[in-house]
């Protein structure tokens, strides 16, 4: 090799050595499940690099013996940041909301949850049955956008209660092993037992909890009427379905979300990325649950927010939440979603449901249509379906008159009044509905 190429060759070898040690570190993170905040993997990779450097420099002068250590030092400096927390490791809860009091209820399941109550507005015709709202997420705070919609329902006379699922928002964390869809259903049943009898509106992941609850006698006994809006998969077989979505959403069309991201920090980029890929368990030793909640930011949701809106709304997507209120528990969410994927078929129990139910489906939904139509096909107590035109997965989004239309649809069903929209799709319409990609 020409002498003038030797420095370039040495540089390339050094880069390859650094890259190899970084890859070894990541492999060891997975192999050790992030034990000791990643230090077990870091020390092992550092030890392997040191031994390799000693072997390479064994017959060289003292200066030549030091040269192989340069890639080891560089790799160690690059990877040690993965082991160092940059946010508090103890849970820091969002501050109180200025427009509603935060109550804390201790349920008989052991969960301690944050509860919000919007009583009927003065001068309105008070509904005799409380309305309970189950938010999506699955394990996150209730957004300010949702709170505004709940206020609208209260102005229409509803006595509205909402709570953040265990581990989300201002609700206390659970041990990671206790997050499950069955625990969420038990929490709902315990919450309803304290209220007596209630109507329940479940949105997205909250719709999954409500669907499961309708097939659980203890919970269903306390539900007068149920509204399932834009549900996710209700069980393992449904989660494995492949299918179609609604009309085009704003995903890929809306401007990228701005603001801080935890995924720009090496520690959280590695931890959350490997968890999302299934290479690290939700209860990994790399980062604790509280730390992951503290670190996660709204911008980390990426295009998920845009996918909840129609393509026509791509450049006017509202701000759904404030930085102070936003909270998302990524590890608990992954754990809960996995328990849904592992759940046996709900169909036999759902077919026994007798709770009057309404299903709401958005025109530009990012959810698979089969998730909703599977419920429609197997719940004999669904009395009406409302196909909501002009909106995406986020049905009440504060744009135009979308909140008012959603509230009117919900109120009409709860009061047993005629539906403002056609009852579509019905069970017999499902094949055509799916074939026409509506």
Domain boundary among 21, 51, 83: 83
**Taking 70 as the threshold, does the pLDDT of residue 223 lie above it?**
yes
Same-domain pairing of 240 and 357: yes
Question: What is the per-residue pLDDT across 10-64, written as a single tens digit (0 to 9) for each?
Answer: 667 778 888 999 999 999 999 999 999 999 999 999 999 889 878 876 666 656 6
Same-domain pairing of 45 and 135: no
Quick check: is 266 in a domain? no
Quick check: is 97 in a domain? no
Query: What is the value of pTM for the model shown?
Result: 0.93
Same-domain pairing of 178 and 321: yes
Q: Any idea what DSSP says for residue 139?
A: S
Q: What pLDDT is attached to residue 57?
A: 66
**Taking 70 as the threshold, does the pLDDT of residue 411 lie above it?**
yes
Averaged pLDDT, 413-431: 96
Same-domain pairing of 30 and 174: no
Q: What percent of the chain has pLDDT over 90?
A: 82
* Lowest-confidence region among 227-236, 296-305, 350-359: 296-305
Same-domain pairing of 63 and 128: no
Q: What pLDDT is attached to residue 27?
A: 95
Quick check: is 283 in a domain? no
Q: Enter the tokens of residue 156.
A: 């229409």
**Taking 60 as the threshold, does the pLDDT of residue 3 lie above it?**
no
Domain boundary among 83, 117, 148: 83
**Taking 90 as the threshold, does the pLDDT of residue 166 lie above it?**
yes
* Lowest-confidence region among 4-8, 225-229, 251-255, 373-377: 4-8
Quote the number of domains for the chain.
2
Same-domain pairing of 29 and 70: yes
Q: Enter the tokens of residue 414.
A: 């709860």
* Lowest-confidence region among 146-160, 227-241, 246-260, 417-431: 246-260
Quick check: is 288 in a domain? no
Cα dihedral sign, 411-163-232-380:
negative
Per the prediction, the chain carries an average pLDDT of 93
Same-domain pairing of 11 and 63: yes
Question: What is the per-residue pLDDT across 233-273, written as a single tens digit (0 to 9) for each?
Answer: 999 999 999 888 889 999 999 998 888 899 889 999 999 99
- Residue range of the domain that includes 19: 3-83
Quick check: is 374 in a domain? yes
Quick check: is 107 in a domain? yes
What CA–CA distance (Å, rounded) separates 112 from 326? 19
Domain boundary among 83, 116, 133: 83
What CA–CA distance (Å, rounded) separates 50 from 71? 10
Q: What pLDDT is attached to residue 8?
A: 61
**Taking 60 as the threshold, does the pLDDT of residue 167 lie above it?**
yes
**Taking 50 as the threshold, does the pLDDT of residue 1 lie above it?**
no
Q: What percent of the chain has pLDDT over 70?
A: 95
Same-domain pairing of 195 and 55: no
Q: What pLDDT is attached to residue 124?
A: 81
Same-domain pairing of 130 and 246: yes
What CA–CA distance (Å, rounded) separates 231 from 222? 21
Same-domain pairing of 224 and 347: yes
Same-domain pairing of 75 and 109: no
Quick check: is 92 in a domain? no
Nearest alpha-carbon partner for 24 in 60, 2, 49:
49
Same-domain pairing of 67 and 107: no
CATH number at residue 199: 3.40.50.1820
Quick check: is 271 in a domain? no
Q: Any idea what DSSP says for residue 310?
A: B
């Amino acid at each position: 090799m020409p002498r003038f190429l030797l420095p370039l060759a040495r540089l390339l070898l050094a880069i390859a050595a650094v890259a190899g040690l970084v890859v070894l570190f990541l492999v060891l993170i997975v192999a050790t499940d992030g034990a000791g905040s990643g230090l077990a993997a870091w020390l092992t990779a550092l030890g392997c690099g040191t031994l390799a450097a000693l072997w390479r420099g064994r017959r060289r002068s003292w200066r030549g013996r030091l040269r192989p250590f340069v890639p080891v030092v560089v790799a160690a400096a690059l990877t040690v940041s993965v082991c160092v927390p940059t946010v508090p490791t103890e849970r820091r809860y969002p501050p109180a909301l200025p427009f509603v009091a935060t109550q804390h209820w201790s349920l008989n399941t052991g969960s301690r949850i944050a509860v919000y109550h919007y009583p009927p507005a003065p001068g309105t015709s008070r509904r005799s049955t409380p309305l309970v709202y189950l938010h999506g997420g699955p394990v996150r705070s209730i957004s300010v956008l949702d709170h505004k919609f709940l206020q609208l329902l209260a102005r229409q006379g509803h006595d509205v209660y909402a709570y953040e699922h265990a581990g989300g928002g201002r609700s206390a964390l659970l041990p990671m092993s206790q997050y499950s869809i069955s625990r969420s259903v038990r929490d709902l049943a315990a919450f309803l037992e304290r209220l007596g009898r209630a109507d329940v509106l479940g949105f997205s992941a909250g719709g999954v909890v409500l669907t499961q609850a309708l097939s659980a006698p203890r919970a269903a006994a306390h539900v007068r009427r149920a509204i399932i809006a834009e549900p996710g998969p209700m069980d393992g077989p449904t989660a494995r379905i492949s299918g179609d979505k609604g009309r085009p959403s704003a995903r890929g069309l809306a401007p990228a979300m701005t603001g801080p991201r935890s995924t720009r920090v090496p520690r959280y980029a590695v931890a959350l990325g490997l968890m999302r890929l299934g290479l690290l368990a939700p209860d990994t030793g790399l980062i604790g649950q509280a730390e992951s909640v503290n670190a996660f930011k709204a911008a980390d949701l990426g295009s998920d927010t845009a996918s909840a809106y129609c393509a026509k709304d791509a450049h006017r997507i509202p701000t759904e939440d404030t930085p102070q209120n936003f909270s998302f528990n990524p590890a608990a969410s992954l754990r809960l979603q996995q328990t849904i994927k592992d759940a046996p078929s709900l169909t036999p129990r759902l077919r026994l449901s007798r709770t009057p139910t309404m299903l709401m489906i958005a025109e530009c939904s990012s959810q698979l249509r089969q998730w909703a139509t599977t419920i429609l096909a197997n719940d004999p107590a669904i009395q009406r379906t409302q196909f909501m035109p002009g909106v995406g997965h986020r049905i009440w989004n504060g744009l135009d008159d979308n909140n008012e239309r959603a509230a009117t649809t919900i109120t009409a069903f709860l009061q047993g009044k005629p539906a403002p929209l056609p009852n579509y799709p019905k069970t017999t319409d499902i094949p055509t509905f799916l074939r026409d990609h509506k």
